[in-house]
Amino acid sequence: MVKRITNVVFAGLGGQGVLKASDILAQAAFRQGFDVKKSEIHGMSQRGGSVTSDVRFGDEVLSPMVPEGETDYLVVLAPEEVDNNRGRLRDGGVLIKPDDIDATALPHAKSLNVALLGVLSAHLDLPESDWVEAIHAALPEKLHKLNDRAFAIGRSVGNKR
């Protein structure tokens, strides 16, 4: 039996919400009953350095790290981190990057991470309700509305691609 696993890598800079974004995806996949692993190195990430986070889900996930060149979706939050991480994509993998979104349309610059999740969501077979629940679980209530909007903006961009 071939076990199909979806591999997503998030990349950006400390403070951009990379880990928050990967948390939300991991939660959304978890809610669908998938085996999920999410992995990153945090430590100095708060100090503005490069951060990446891997999320893998499917029937059974073994290593928590996405092997080189096996990334299905690479979601990059900082333009300067695109080149560093492009090599992790598999042939035919999808790159989702900040300029996929019209930044001026975002309700807040900090919601870029959730907007890019919106783009990603259009590619993945996870119900929208799980995404929304995962976003709400990850963020304080006063930020829910704003991030719902950011997610919707991203999702419509993704649906048009």
Partner 1 sequence: MKESNRYLLSGNEAVAQAARDAGVGLGTGYPGTPSTEILEHFAKLGGRAQWSPNEKVALEVGLGAAFARGRALVTMKHVGLNVAADPLFTAAYTGVSGALVVVTADDPGMASSQNEQDNRRYAVAAGVPMLEPSDSQECYDFTVAAIDISERWRIPVLLRMTTRVCHSLTVVRRRDVGGPPGAPGFEHDIKGRVMVPANARPAHHRLREKLADILAWNESSGPNRWIERDNTLGIVTSGIAYMHAAEAAPRASMLKLGMAYPLPVETIRRFAGSVDRCIVIEEGDPYLVDAIRAAGITADGKAEMYRFSELSVERVRRILADDESPEPVPPKGKPPALCNTCPHRVAFTALHDLDCIVAGDIGCYTLGALPPFSAMDTCICMGASIGVGLGLRHTLPEDQARRVVSVIGDSTFVHSGITGLVEMVYNPPSTGHVVIILDNGTTAMTGLQEHPGTGRTLDHQPTGKVCYEDLARSLGIRNVHVTDPFANPDEFGILLKAALGASELAVIIARHPCLLAASKIKQYERAAKEQRLCSAVTNTGN
The binding site for partner 1 (CB under 8 A) comprises 13-14, 23, 26-27, 30-31, 33, 35-50, 52, 61-65, 67-68, 80-81, 83-85, 87
**Distance in Å, CB of 9 to partner 1, minimum:** 13
**Distance in Å, CB of 35 to partner 1, minimum:** 6
Opening angle at CA 38, ends 35 and 41, nearest 5: 160
Q: Which CB, 55 or 116, lies closer to partner 1? A: 55
Q: Which CB, 49 or 108, lies closer to partner 1? A: 49
Residue 140: HSE in the Cβ half-sphere, 13 Å Cα cutoff? 1
Q: Which CB, 64 or 156, lies closer to partner 1? A: 64
Opening angle at CA 41, ends 6 and 22, nearest 5: 40
**Distance in Å, CB of 45 to partner 1, minimum:** 8
String of DSSP letters for 119-160: HHHTTS---HHHHHHHHHHHS-GGGHHHHHHHHHHHHHHHHH
**Distance in Å, CB of 100 to partner 1, minimum:** 21
Residue 115 token pair: 């907007």
Q: Which CB, 47 or 160, lies closer to partner 1? A: 47
